[in-house]
Amino acid sequence: MPKNTPPGPRDERGVLAARILAAARGAFADTGYAGTTIRAVARAADVDPALVYHYFGSKEALLDAATTPPQRWLQNVAQTWATPVPELGAALLRLMLAAWADDEIGPVLRSVLQTAAHEQSTREKLRRVVEAQLMGVSGLGVDERDRQVRSGLVSSQIMGLAMMRYIWQIEPMASMGDDELVAAIAPNLQRYIAGDLS
């Protein structure tokens, strides 16, 4: 797929590309990069393998497209870091909960976390996203290292909840309500954001 002509979401090309990406997310998460073939993705998406090559060019480019979070979500994350400090923990947590419940964002996050466990290039991408989006835009802390430690700690709690709730599906974390989770976890995030950590 030439970089300058992404498929629009509403035309036939967009519909087929979305179907291919959904199939690719499942395949990469289940069988890894090495175990995934364009042929198997095409079969799962019910399209001709030539169409997958035509749209995405290579297996590597398909992995990249399948594990790239939507730009609008990355913008949401960046904006959320501008929340006033006393509400920041709850805002970050609610953003994460909403993202996983979103039909477009949830499957990408799931695919990234599952594929990053065993695929080096996806782990690099996850690292870049966490460092740039979850940690990079914060204005926390008294200096650069303090800022990184505080946002890293926030990320560790948010990502741990995501693994327990959405990837490993361990109860009761998997089925607790959003409000109960926010009441339980947001104060801990607030300590990482503005508390004494020494």
Binding footprint of its own copies on the chain (CB under 8 A): 29-32, 34-35, 113-118, 123, 126-127, 130-131, 135, 145, 148-149, 152-153, 155-161, 163-165, 167-173, 176, 180, 183-185, 187-188, 191-192, 197-198
Q: Is 94 helix (H, G, I), strand (E, B) or coil?
A: helix
Nearer to its own copies, 50 or 174 (CB): 174
Task: Using alpha carbons, list the distances in angstroms from residue 35 to 20, 78, 124.
Answer: 17, 35, 19
Q: How far is the CB of 172 from its own copies (least distance, A)?
A: 5
Task: Using alpha carbons, list the distances in angstroms from residue 152 to 35, 69, 132.
Answer: 32, 20, 11
Q: How far is the CB of 119 from its own copies (least distance, A)?
A: 8
Nearer to its own copies, 16 or 113 (CB): 113
> Any idea what DSSP says for residue 175?
T
Q: How far is the CB of 70 from its own copies (least distance, A)?
A: 21
Dump the DSSP string for 107-163: HHHHHHHHHHTT-HHHHHHHHHHIIIIIITT---SSSHHHHHHHHHHHHHHHHHHHI
174 C-beta neighbours (distance < 10 Å), count: 12
Nearer to its own copies, 56 or 192 (CB): 192
Nearer to its own copies, 16 or 116 (CB): 116
Q: How far is the CB of 159 from its own copies (least distance, A)?
A: 5
Nearer to its own copies, 28 or 73 (CB): 28
Q: How far is the CB of 58 from its own copies (least distance, A)?
A: 19
| Exposed / middle / buried, residue 111 (Cβ in 10 Å: 0-12, 13-18, 19+) | buried
